[in-house]
Chain A
Amino acid sequence: MCHLNKAFALPAFPADLQVCTDQRSGEPLDTTKINLPILQHAEEHSQRAASEGACDHKGLRSQALSPPFASLDHTDRGRAADFSPRIQLLSADPRVLHPPHHLSSCDREFGRLCGGVEWARDFGGTLSTMAGRGRGQLTFSVEIVGIGKGENLPPSSVQPTPLFPPLDQKPVPLQAGEEAEYMLALKQEFRGAMKTLPFYIRPAAPKKDVERYSDKYQKIETSDNSLEWKPDWRRFPKELRVREKRPLRDKSPAVPKQPKQPRVDKEEIIRKLETLEQKEEEGSSDEEEGEKKKPEEEEVEGEEEYDEEEFEDETDYIMSYFENGEDFGGDSDDNIDEAIY
């Protein structure tokens, strides 16, 4: 069944050219899951016929109305039939579909049963099975949709349409005139004006890799977290308010933080204090847990970092990789920091 369906598998279509949608879920149809009744029962018949030999055309028809169809209820068939001609018609358009040339033995049987015999019946036998197979195993006569017999159809395409296809018709020129130009000027002015208004929010400047001395003297971009315009807070939810407490907090950033970091290096302390100062100036409010979490997280990270770092000498040498030859420090089990080799 699956190889039959692969014959009708659609190539990669551009996303918005979704011709077939599943009626039930509205999603693009996965053709591998199609339950085409005709193909299905033909498959079963072909398998049976392969063992029994060629079966009569009329016999096929009568058997067509037997169990395989009875097993399907009307809605299924109706639904399947809903998309089957569309798919088959897509296959009728050779520019769109490309039935593979190599078909398995099952398909050959199928072609003989449905394609060859039926087509021979419709076209008075002028259309050979080979031509029928070459056009894809269609279950209806393409004459209905207008493809004549033995006609040279354009070759089918196997790739998505090019990104900039050559246009047959040139596009109509744009409207020129005073009104169009004025609106153009208005549009560009509006865009420019919006960039200068306080509503244009720029993300915080990324932290530079190394702190530079000139940072102190250069003007940093707005590190202020509060809005530069004053909304009417009666019309806004209270939770959107960012409190600004710049003048109060300047005095005591360092004092409460010091006792928390007893063991850390001097440089660590200074760095932490600076970042915390900045954070205080940016105006985090006490009630917001989110604010608190960040400096706390940073502190925690700092402490973890500290734990990983070796204190004392700031050398590049890992302290635990100290091979003194003699039993230096090898007897003491207290210092867990050193790895024991």
Chain B
Amino acid sequence: MTAQEVRLCGLLLQEHFGDVVEKVGTHLIRSGVLTLRALAHETKLALDLVKKSLCVLVQHGMCTFGPGRRGPAGPVEYRINCERILHMLRYPRYIYTAKSLYGDTGELIIEEILQRGQMTMSSTVKTVADRLTHNMPEGQSMDYSEVVSAFSRLVETHFLQRCPPMASAGSSSSGAVDTSLPVVTQPAEPESNPECYKLPYINLTGQGKRRRSSEDGEDDQRAAKKAKTDNSQCGDEGIYWQVNFLRFHLHFRDQAIISAVSCKLDQTSSEIVRTMLRMSEVTTPAHAAFTQALSANEIFRSLPSNYNIARPILDQYLTLLVDDPMEFVGKTGDSGGGMYVVNLHRALANLARATLESVVQERFGSRSARIFRLLLRKRHLEQKQVEDFAMVPAKEAKDMLYTLLSENLVQLQEVPKTPDYAPSRTFYLYTVNQLPTARLLLQHCYKTIGNLIERRLYETKENKRLLEKSQRIEAILASLQATGAETAQLTEVEEMITAPERQQLESLRHHINKLDSSENQVDETIFLLESYINSTQASR
């Protein structure tokens, strides 16, 4: 874990779970694997707080536990999953995707499960139905069956998966194990469970309950008690569901490829690529370099019906896609009118390369970007050659190269002419290595988001007094309106905030919104670079 990743994880944990969990989490990231006692001792926190934090982290899947080095008899060891914490940056994107695919119901299901880490199907259905009912006009309520059907669709398309079941070590044959504290071990992969995507049968009928604001307290208690007693009758005890992040990432990757094709070529070609990806969704494993080979006939049959393109036109489009230098689509055979694949890894590499080029362009100008692109394509060039090929005057080329070199985007490779590495008789070649540069940029992105979050916290802290005042006034206004006050009273309360304070609040809100949307955007870059780096590792 790099320093920037650890810092970002700490900030994310603090924002979502509080300071205590942040302390425990960052310490565990830095130390690797620890037992409960060691963790409590080193963080100097109360043991109870440490236990609570670990429970929260395990519930959300960010911490795994397992038998320690001393085997099942020894204390349990805990390990943090850093990637999972960094996924918290992408939660809005997951929720938005669910909304675009499965509507409001899907959106709320994913949001609930993300908020709580893992949930049973019945509790999810009830909570979501209640929330939907709350937003509906009076008299209407959401039926459980609709929510159940949305849930089933999410599971069928693998966006939700079962949490891996626990394998208790108490069933082991070693009799010497002290069975008073059986160590519970977690299996590694949820996919290794054959029932990963199997829906349990639950008998859950009814509708969402609307919560009345006047009888809040009692109703909640009654509802909570009812939920407890209802749970046991639903038939899915012990089956917890979690969000399948990998599937979402595959979806995002496909989206990125399709939008790149539509930007580079046109809408029809992007539709063709979308069809190809859709057809090979279920047959392609997660880390494959290309999709399954599809024949042109199949593609023609599966095109959406509103795209009436003739067969020869389809062939022309496919040829165009194959010849394109971005190499999104490749041809692997001639049977069935031509066998075509989508080159996933190559597409990711090209997308990452485009990202790098655009970063250089926006940071250093278009001429530096020209030099950078030149070096990416031509691999190794001398100073003189760079000037000639890029058609940039010598002085400026040198200046730009040094700027890029000092930012570590460009490296220097020496090629000696003589064995004694005499500097006057050595070639010094400039070069760009895509993978290390992508890693460097990824670290920069993590640092950027860390800075954005810290700035947002700073701005909030600076204006804390003002924010609290405005919140109090809003609460007063809301209560006044609920009890039916006159407009004169309302305006009087509103005037408690002076005009310059209002302006200050407005600008604060504007800044915080800007910082938040910047985080979302940087996260898109992070996703692209991470996918590219993971794809290079998977193929090794």
Contact = CB atoms under 8 A, between A and B. Distances in A.
A122 B517 contact: no
Contacts of B363: 169
Given A17-B406, A89-B428, A191 B16 contact: yes
A183 B92 contact: yes
Given A16-B447, A184-B517, A140 B424 contact: yes
Interface string A46-86: 00000000000000000011000100000001100110111
B502 interface: no
Given A200-B16, A201-B21, A187 B394 contact: no
A26 interface: no
Interface string A171-188: 110110001111110111
B46 A201 contact: no
A200 B17 contact: yes
A30 interface: no
Contact of B184 (A181, A204, A225, A237): A237
B51 A96 contact: no
15 contacts: A140-B423, A146-B401, A168-B365, A169-B364, A174-B521, A199-B17, A203-B18, A232-B238, A235-B163, A237-B65, A238-B184, A239-B76, A240-B54, A242-B52, A288-B47
A201 B96 contact: no
Interface stretch (B56-64, B209-217, B345-353, B492-500): B56-64
B51 A184 contact: no
Contact of A203 (B49, B238, B384, B416): B49
Given A140-B424, A187-B92, A85 B447 contact: no
Contacts of B181: 238-239
B238 A237 contact: no
Contacts of A203: 18-20, 49
Given A89-B405, A146-B384, A200-B18, 8 more contacts: A16-B444, A77-B421, A89-B428, A144-B428, A171-B362, A172-B362, A231-B58, A235-B166
Interface of A: 16-17, 19, 64-65, 69, 77-78, 81-82, 84-86, 88-89, 93, 95-96, 118, 122, 138-141, 144-147, 168-169, 171-172, 174-175, 179-184, 186-188, 190-191, 193-194, 197, 199-204, 225, 227, 231-232, 234-242, 282, 284, 288, 290-291
Interface in B20-54: 20-21, 36, 40, 46-49, 51-54
A288 B362 CA distance: 59
Contact of A184 (B364, B406, B520): B520
A22 B470 CA distance: 55
A246 B17 CA distance: 26
B223 interface: no
Interface of B: 4, 15-21, 36, 40, 46-49, 51-56, 58-60, 65, 75-76, 91-93, 95-96, 111, 114-117, 163, 166, 181-184, 238, 240, 362-365, 383-384, 394, 397-398, 401-402, 405-408, 412, 414, 416, 420-424, 426, 428, 443-444, 447, 513-514, 516-521
Contacts of A16: 4, 443-444, 447
A284 B507 CA distance: 48
A145 B383 contact: yes
B15 A145 contact: no
Contacts of A184: 92, 513, 516-517, 520
A200 B14 CA distance: 9
Given A174-B514, A240-B36, A240-B51, A199 B56 contact: yes
Q: Which of B36, B48, B49 has the most A CB atoms < 10 Å from its CB?
A: B48
